Structure 1
């Protein structure tokens, strides 16, 4: 493993943060003890600068020398798998997308982006949660000695519920196994959740034939192997190609609204949203209504040879 001094580590961390387009929000020193130099150790990194609206620096707790950070964040709590997409598609049908035909690329993108954000709906299960609490509290008040028949009925219902849960789990696991090619992340995430023994880095054979004896040696050996695949860039000019391209120039790229719809329907709904924050579940469920405006946007970027500023 490459060892870096403090200044090199600081520069590497800064460059990595900038290359990943992350925002660092902690602006004050948060660690101090006695005459030690004030340091900033705890960082808050986000993709969007607006995700953190305020940070309060509180006094340390107990014997700790780190300040307590109270963070106000804008967290997306929308339940996309419970969204009312029938209503969303009905609302998208009311939008007159033909008005965008003569608009610029930027105007078409803003219209698409605003409509997609509006349709990222959520379903509140607070009512069902309160109902479950009420049912549990009422069941706790039933005295077994006064109403034995109700107790027997409850026990029978419990057995039926347990059986139904087991069948649901079996069906869920069967579905995961059948869709492992389409949804590998969901399958392996579930498999990892059932694993009790976590595998660590095993002993690795070194070039001299011996085996590593510690995790540190294994990490250093893996680091050297990974470094071999990287090309060391130089400051010399990029060499010109010997032969110019002699094929036909790609002046037209034809695709239809139906092609766009098929691509939207093929999105993985369990994937994370992109930089625009639009969840793939929304795009997939509303594919039939979003295909035309997105097709219009993509076609406009090709004809005008421009892309939106957000891209």
Structure 2
């Protein structure tokens, strides 16, 4: 599901009663930037937004006293901009807190710089009949409905989103937009873990400029080096002649052409820092996940207690299998730490409490009020700052150095085929290629050619 998901909203991140708070690193998902309202210690439940890294989401401070919300803007095509918000309103919210929520919605809807609005979350207003937009006999529900109407906001959830045994089903989780045609194909999926809230999956229609960060890289672990060794020339003396630069250019062109021919390509990651190492799911785990969804659908159709027990059993089996798979992955990483240290450090870095990538920087075009958001803008700001500390050479000719008689002379440098083959054979295949674009695995594999 994650492969086709661009935005995820989550509410009630923190439990009601806890001994410690989960940190941001524990909640990270590979390929996504996480935006979360940090718990200030006053027992907030927490909300968060996962935005796919390629969309370059930027957090927006709305300056509201309503704390349980998070806002992120995403640049669309041309001059359009999408504002995504995630909100959680506590069930026993008083009138003052509800008023702050309504003020926040008024403020968001009045901002003209955002052409598209997507607001989702758990609003805990069960008395509203969304088929007729009737608030019932609840004053706070009536104020909320009037706020949506005044701001021309559309509400798209029409089916129950919270189903709990012994309680009446209700619509608590809402999807709000500023245009009716933005949302299509809402799917009400089974809850995650032990939650009693359904997962809402929907398509949001907008025009997004494709990201230019996706590139293809060679997958050296699946290369056909036997064919590559047979493809490179046997008589290098006939090819390598002339100046050093000319011979180096000829050598690199031959190796690169052969590599592109016999080494398959893969899509590179578009985010700067890799996330958690998610173990691949085996067939048995996938079958259990499908069984969990099927048993949930049967329970939704019959509402019988026996079907709910079948669903709960399948849900617990999925949780146990996923935890087992994670433990096996960690054991595999620890076992191969000598041969694959990068895999270990990648997993360690995924557990660190750090911000993904480089945050927005002040000083674009020399103006401290302008923010550098894109990678190119950030690089320009950093380059200007680093160049400001360079030593400025005084004008005039360079100073002349005195002649010196060296007391130590270099001996004859011995460089033959056996020495070069030995050095190439000791190359570490796990290292990255340098500016010469020669991967050590290629040089090691074809060293006898």
TM-score (norm 1): 0.43
Bigger relative contact order, structure 1 or 2, given CA contacts below 8 A and separation 6+?
1
Instruction: Give the helix-richer structure, 1 or 2.
Output: 1
